[in-house]
Amino acid sequence: MINSIRIIGDIGSGQHGGTGSLKMFGEDRNHYLVKFKENRQGNIKVVTNELISYLIAAKLQLPIPKSFLAIIDSNIKKLVNDQYNYSVSAGFHFASKWMDDLYPITPILFSNLQNQQSLPLIVLFDILVYNTDRNNSGNVFLHRSEDINKLIILDHGHCFNFNWDVEILNSIKDNIHQSSVSFFNDIIRGSDPFRESINTIKILDNNFLKNITDNIPAEWMISQEEKEALSNFLIYRKENIENILLRNKNLFPNWNEE
């Protein structure tokens, strides 16, 4: 289950990204990037995509900011509406804990990362959730903290083919979307570079994937049929992740090289 955080104020740093997310204060006085279901991209499924992807990434212990359901009350609704001419509703939205000291990832910076070994699992995670937007420089970063450099993944609103429905999920269940950062696929090398990551994906419990959609707030308007289709999509992808990967082995030019 995902926890919630009450949002109590706006930092005033303007809108972020294509969805018009806002940097805001939580009741714990920490800063959060809040993505609204009434986002600037006009796709209510963005927050569901974020939520489901976050829960899976957290389960896999991938490097992702801690996230919450953001509770927006009528006062914050009015503040956002008045200050940004942005019509949002009171209720649940999506919030990720804000991280400072983030830097766009480059091949040179990657070589200094403490968690380079996470890359194959990140690639498989993106395949699992059909992420179509990892090649965006705004969703994978180097995070520097106390002289420790780590890869951080962000922004999963474009997973599941973005504005999906039951038919779309069925049509893409065997496909892969090539959306990695340009040099990521070149870095992966070896005779069996994904073996450990494949095993990690495969031990995701089917009940976890079946019940994951129970976390979606009713007001996000995901039908029961869509919830079941999304769970079935994830279970199918998990169970067939190795076959899907092998069919696209050509995307990794240094696979088979030690």
DSSP alpha helix (H) spans, the chain: 45-59, 74-84, 107-110, 119-128, 166-172, 184-187, 195-202, 206-211, 224-239, 241-246
pLDDT digits (tens, 9 = 90+) for 100-125: 999 988 888 888 899 999 999 999 99
pLDDT digits (tens, 9 = 90+) for 152-189: 999 999 999 999 999 999 999 999 988 778 789 999 99
Establish if 258 belongs to a structural domain: no
Q: What is the mean pLDDT of residues 225-234?
A: 98
- Does residue 258 register a pLDDT over 80? no
Establish if 194 belongs to a structural domain: yes
Establish if 164 belongs to a structural domain: yes
Establish if 257 belongs to a structural domain: no
Please state, in angstroms and rounded to a whole number, the distance separating the CA atoms of residues 20 and 39: 6
**pLDDT at residue 148, as a whole number:** 87
3-state SS, residue 92: strand
Residues whose CB falls within 8 Å of the CB of residue 174, separated by 6 or more in sequence, listed in order: 240, 244
CA distances from 245 to 32, 57, 84, 156, 192 (A): 35, 18, 43, 20, 12
CA 132 to chain centre: 11
CA 129 to chain centre: 9
Q: Which domain holds residue 48?
A: 4-97
Establish if 86 belongs to a structural domain: yes
Q: Sorting pLDDT into bands at 50, 70 and 90, what band is 202?
A: very high
Question: Are 160 and 43 found together in one domain?
Answer: no
- pTM of the prediction? 0.96
